[in-house]
Amino acid sequence: MINYTHVSFFTLAAYRDTGLLKYLYFTIVMSLYIFIICANVLLIVVICLNRSLHEPMYLFLCSLFVNELCGSTGLFPFLLVQILSDIHTVSVPFCFLQIYCLYSYINVQFCNLAVMSYDRYLAICYPLQYNKRMTSKKVAMLIAVTWLFPFFEVAFMVSLSAPLQLCGNIIHKVYCDNHSVVKLSCSDTTVNNIQGLTYTVAIIVCVVTLILYTYMKILKVCFSGSKQTRQKAVRTCTPHLASLLNFCSGGFFEVVQSRFNMNSVPNILRVFLSLYFLTCQPLFNPVMYGLKLSKIRSLCKSLIFGKM
């Protein structure tokens, strides 16, 4: 007979006693968080204040930056508290709240990148019909779906995980993770596994298919088009492709760590790989889009130096 345990808190076992080094880690994490807040807020303000940037591509970018602020807020303050704390525990309600925030961020980010690839496909393959195809109503609908669908799906996932009877409370990560919570369950997790597998396969197949299709069409236009067309495609697609590859790399590291035995890997490397998936986008995207898109770069300079 299985002995169920009433769990009121989870212990995050990935933390180690680092002594005075914890202040160094705290300083590094705090610096990263401040950079993420400042960079993303700056770009959001620039896009919102300038009418010349009220175009679909920049509105999708604004949605991306807002999501990165939300995801960072769900992770970094929690990390800062845990780094300085001697007891690395978290209450069950807060753990599921963090799971909801982080999984929503990941899913919104993935959907947003797919929508942005579709937008670039229309802009490059149908430049004369772009404004007719990508109307303000369609932009609003795409952004709404990008946010609402993951929110409801993640809420359903959490509603399946929260009632599970647990036989332990140790999570081998530095933050709360739904897969780790489900593995602690002594009750039947068939529904959880089916839901997780079905949703993961569905969203990956749909999103990856859309992205591959759009870029195949873009490449076809580039090879058969003029030099100006190729330059436009490279200029507008390079930041998006870099962001997409960065996100997929982080996702690959996270899947490998969650699904395979990583006991032979040093703890510090496992922590880095798990955090990379959640921090790579908020750190990478503002730099990439701020440097690569000349319109944003010039307006950022104007805003910073007070010449708007």
Q: Where are the domains of the chain?
A: 19-304
Helix axes 294-304, 267-292, angle to 10 degrees: 90
pLDDT at 45 over 90: no
How buried is residue 17: exposed, middle or buried, by Cβ count under 10 Å (0-12/13-18/19+)? exposed
Helix (H) or strand (E) holding 21: helix 21-49
Please write the tens of the pLDDT for every residue from 222-247. 777 677 777 777 777 888 888 888 88
Contact 275, 301 (CB under 8 A): no
Q: Which residues contact 176 (CB under 8 A, 6 or more apart)?
A: 10, 12, 90, 94, 95, 96, 98, 99, 102
Helix (H) or strand (E) holding 59: helix 56-84
What are the φ and ψ backbone dihedral angles of 111, each rounded to 5 degrees?
A: -65, -40
pLDDT band, residue 300 (cuts 50/70/90): low
d(CA 53, CA 30): 31
Please give the share of the chain, as a percent, with pLDDT higher than 90: 27
Q: Among candidates 68, 69, 43, which has minimal Cα distance to 57?
A: 43
pLDDT at 1 over 50: no
Say what the pLDDT of residue 7 is: 77
Averaged pLDDT for residues 33-43 = 90
The pTM (predicted TM-score) of the whole model is 0.88
Kindly indicate whether the domain formed by 19-304 is annotated with CATH number 3.30.470.20: no
Averaged pLDDT for residues 57-82 = 92
Rg of the chain over all Cα atoms, to the nearest angstrom: 21
Say what the pLDDT of residue 99 is: 93
pLDDT at 308 over 50: no
